[in-house]
A and B are shown apart, each in its own frame.
Chain A
Amino acid sequence: MKLDAKIPEGPLEQKWTKYKSSVPLVNPANKRNLSIIVVGTGLAGASAAATLAEMGYQVSAFCFQDSPRRAHSIAAQGGINAAKNYQNDGDSVHRLFYDTIKGGDYRSREANVHRLAEVSTNIIDQCVAQGVPFAREYGGTLSNRSFGGTQVQRTFYAAGQTGQQLLLGAYSALERQVGLGNVKMYARHEMVEVVKVDGKARGIIARNLVSGKLERYFGHAVLLCTGGYGNVFYLSTNAMGSNVTAAWKAHKAGALFGNPCFTQIHPTCIPVSGHYQSKLTLMSESLRNDGRIWVPKKQGDTRHPNDIPEEERDYYLERRYPAFGNLVPRDIASRAAKERCDAGYGVGPSKMAVYLDFKHNMMHKYGRAEATKQGISNPDDNTLLRLGKELIKEKYGNLFDMYKQITAEDPYEVPMRIYPAVHYTMGGLWVDYELQTTVPGLYALGEANFSDHGANRLGASALMQGLADGYFVIPYTIGNYLSNEIHTKPIPTDHEAFEEAEKRANERITGFLNIKGTRTVESYHRELGLIMWNKCGMARSEKGLKEAIAQIRALREDFYKNVRVPGSDSGFNPELDKAGRVADFLELGELMCLDALAREESCGGHFREEHQTEEGEALRDDDKFLNVFAWENKSNHDYELHREDLNYENIKIQQRSYK
């Protein structure tokens, strides 16, 4: 299979502009006769559904949650990037483009990333127009902060709940179209099959999670905006329901899966506390603006952190990466934390944690500024702390509260204990410049696609990509496909392709219920997660990956013999929903290990122990691996690897350095 990314001709800065002005259009009368299915209602899905409906298409939107507002974009904390240069600090579209490519360790497409940087500014304008209450300065202008891997302040935010505010903006736009009758919304529905007619995506089979019934829906095109698959690791910062099912069904229906092993392990999460743990909680990267990361200089130091004097602390990020300090990209910060803990410097009961400490900035940055403002000369330490605490509270209050709630420790008084956790997946369905998968008419947006973040995503860029894809990219690119579909009449859902797809879904469900074994779905998921974390997590090796593949295969076999799924296929049965999702994770996990095994280099978040520099940094092999791995599902356990070469015409490829 020859992969064609369909990147437009011409200079990088003009590709998107030229594309937009030459892409075929669909006239308003024809739009009314074309229907689009949108699966998932997070930032990408809600923004796409709303925008396409505003344009006049007939849209049906699906989410498995009880309301579109619950999609996991809601939990994004720190912010959204945009090249506005409001801070006059030298930012530009080119710099955002460059930072993103470099941050991704040179494994993403230039043209896609440049487009992302271009439309980033429109996103902020659109969200503000919707009434999204971003943080502001006293003069009424928008406020910015910094995120990792950049040296400018380009991150827009709403306290520590930016994702919530952006999603509620997109959700409002979506509900407006629901109210106007342009979108039909199906909540508590899960997509379980893509329906293909003559090679093109023409609909889906969705399971109504309340009635348990399988339902058939036709669409001239199908958009998957179904998020990432971090939950393959069982413990992650994803929501409990986040899953790969829709993307995996698309993969099995012929859509290639791009770079499946590219996983983002976020450096600042609350550490695991017990075996019953169901998920991990992120502490936003924005905290690294004001928090300093350290471990004791002495191995196995059990003193209380407040009793360890300054000179006995190792601020290892500031030591190793003076140019970026605590704001190095996530993959680097995570590996550095693991390195310290593995070497015996970890803290807390499990010794698998490092400190994130706000005291210095609370006193000397915020406390001192506020004291000056209030005219207090020679403030003592307590005054500085008290004044600084107020400002820290304003910036990160909800995160500090959440930390205290979970750990029963007060981060205003003692440093946070943090450790890396699975957070995001850069891999996903392979898409071309138009966001179309290798199945015509089937698109993937947002985290569900592989497209813009290479081997490591920079902070505050996921919200940017989700909204870019939904508000500003797909509304144009889908025209290139749908302009050829204006003569296609709706296909009745008693067509044999729908019959067969429903039959497949039904057999799978009955299959789960009929196993009647002894082990819970949860126990399989937990076991899979542990294999993935230990062998396909922050460090990977040939030996470990081969072991993991064998273990996952055995686990999957056991699942189909011994799993117990209670209840029936009619009515509300969350255990049955979970069984389907875990079954797909068991297949995906194997593919991720295969991908990690085949990519014999280290890049971004993909760290192969065999390939590292003397200083322990990721060592790329650009001669062999300057390409995207796109996997085709041939049959059970049989995958064929296709490659898309990445051509860097505008950026000089270098060894990534943040020193």
Chain B
Amino acid sequence: MANTMNINLKVWRQHNENAQGHFEEHKVQASPDMSFLEMFDVLNEQLIEDGKDPIAFDHDCREGICGMCSMVINGRPHGPKGGVTTCQLHMRSFKEGDTVVVEPWRANAFPVIKDLSVNRSAFDRIIASGGYVSVNTGNAVDANSILIPKEVADTAFEAATCIGCGACVSACKNASAMLFVGAKVTQLSMLPQGQAERESRVVAMVDQMDAEGFGACTNTGACAAECPKEIPLSVIANLNREYYKAKLNGK
């Protein structure tokens, strides 16, 4: 292979949710044009050929949109580059001979399934508690009868680009899910379609977030700094505003 680089990996291994985990060291030959996950593919093929247990990790679209990949790389969710997911991180971001430490998301609300895979179904339950507009199929009016100023649509879209990966929770010292919840609440509270349930939605989602065991927000901003989709911290301010308004109105 032309242009190879040697990487020392320290990877978290944990057989299942209840097992004790530990770090395991591996050496991999990578190419700078490989993605970080392709480097793991190479390692796993090696492990299988050597009769060892391959490393379990979540991944699917490998183009930064499905939100499935989830590795803490050298202490940072999705690695050293801003605005990208693990699958979009390339080995050219590392140097020959680097030691790279890889761990799963760590949060009580995201229990480890195996190695680097975690269970993020808590996010689904938060959406199920209120992250929607209650409109059954067939009830819609003509799309252009709802006029939405471009700036409003753009801001709602920006919040809606959250991929639900959980990097925000992983980055937060309190394992708070405020950025995730704030993004959905902001999207729907800005749009005319979201007004009918505006107050009940935010209260239900925050209640569910607390019930799942996510921590409180102390405004350190680590979530927004690590978010691969660069969801701004302002969605948390907005979430707080929406929540207090709803509470003041007796929701």
Contacts and interface: CB of A to CB of B under 8 A. Distances in A.
Interface in B118-134: 119-121, 123-124, 127-134
A216 interface: no
Nearest to A133: B157
B156 interface: yes
Contacts, number: 217
A647 interface: no
A294 to B, nearest CB: 25
A134 B68 contact: no
B124 A158 contact: no
Given A277-B38, A520-B49, A72 B66 contact: yes
Interface in A567-591: 567, 571-572, 574-575
Contact of B132 (A122, A164, A175, A572): A175
B137 A50 contact: yes
A402 B49 contact: no
B67 A69 contact: yes
Interface string A229-240: 000000000011
Given A134-B153, A240-B59, A471-B137, A129 B193 contact: yes
A86 interface: yes
B48 A178 contact: no
Contacts of B131: 172, 175
A239 B38 contact: no
A50 B132 CA distance: 12
Contact of A129 (B113, B128, B139): B139
B65 A136 contact: no
B132 A276 contact: no
Interface stretch (B29-37, B216-224, B239-247): B29-37
B144 interface: yes
Contact of B68 (A50, A70, A164): A70
A131 B124 contact: no
A494 interface: no
Interface string B179-195: 00000000110010110
Interface stretch (B5-13, B82-90, B96-104, B170-178): B82-90
A223 B135 CA distance: 23
Interface string A108-149: 000000000000001011111111011111111110000000
A350 B119 CA distance: 41
Interface string B140-156: 11111011111001001
A299 interface: no
A66 interface: yes
> Is the interface on chain A under 10, 10 to 19, 20 to 34, or 35 or more residues?
35 or more
Nearest to A275: B1
A370 interface: no
Nearest to B30: A276
Contacts of A72: 60-61, 66
Interface in A479-495: none
Interface in A506-548: 518, 520, 522-523
A54 B139 CA distance: 12
A130 B156 contact: no
B137 A142 contact: no
Interface in A269-289: 273-274, 276-279, 281-282
B56 interface: yes
B67 A475 contact: no
B137 A54 contact: yes
A142 B150 contact: no
Contacts of B157: 133, 135, 158-159, 165
A572 B143 contact: no
B45 A405 contact: no
B156 A564 contact: no
Given A72-B60, A158-B157, A273-B33, A175 B124 contact: yes
B137 A240 contact: no
Interface string A457-472: 0000000000000011
A253 interface: no
A125 B144 CA distance: 8
Contacts of B56: 572, 574
A138 B49 CA distance: 59
A592 interface: no
B41 A276 contact: yes
6 contacts: A70-B61, A70-B67, A130-B135, A131-B194, A168-B160, A408-B90
Interface of A: 47, 50-51, 54, 65-70, 72, 74-75, 84, 86, 122, 124-131, 133-142, 158-159, 161, 163-165, 168, 171-173, 175-176, 178-179, 185, 187, 210, 239-241, 273-274, 276-279, 281-282, 401-402, 405-406, 408, 471-472, 475, 518, 520, 522-523, 564, 566-567, 571-572, 574-575
The list of the 9 closest CB pairs from A to B, nearest first, reads: A140-B147, A179-B128, A172-B132, A125-B140, A129-B140, A133-B157, A175-B128, A128-B143, A572-B114
Interface of B: 1, 15-16, 31, 33-35, 37-38, 41-42, 45, 47-49, 51-54, 56, 58-68, 83-84, 88, 90, 92, 113-114, 117, 119-121, 123-124, 127-144, 146-150, 153, 156-157, 160-161, 163-164, 187-188, 191, 193-194
Given A239-B62, A566-B52, 15 more contacts: A74-B66, A86-B144, A125-B140, A129-B141, A133-B157, A133-B191, A136-B150, A140-B148, A179-B130, A239-B60, A274-B34, A278-B35, A281-B63, A574-B56, A575-B48
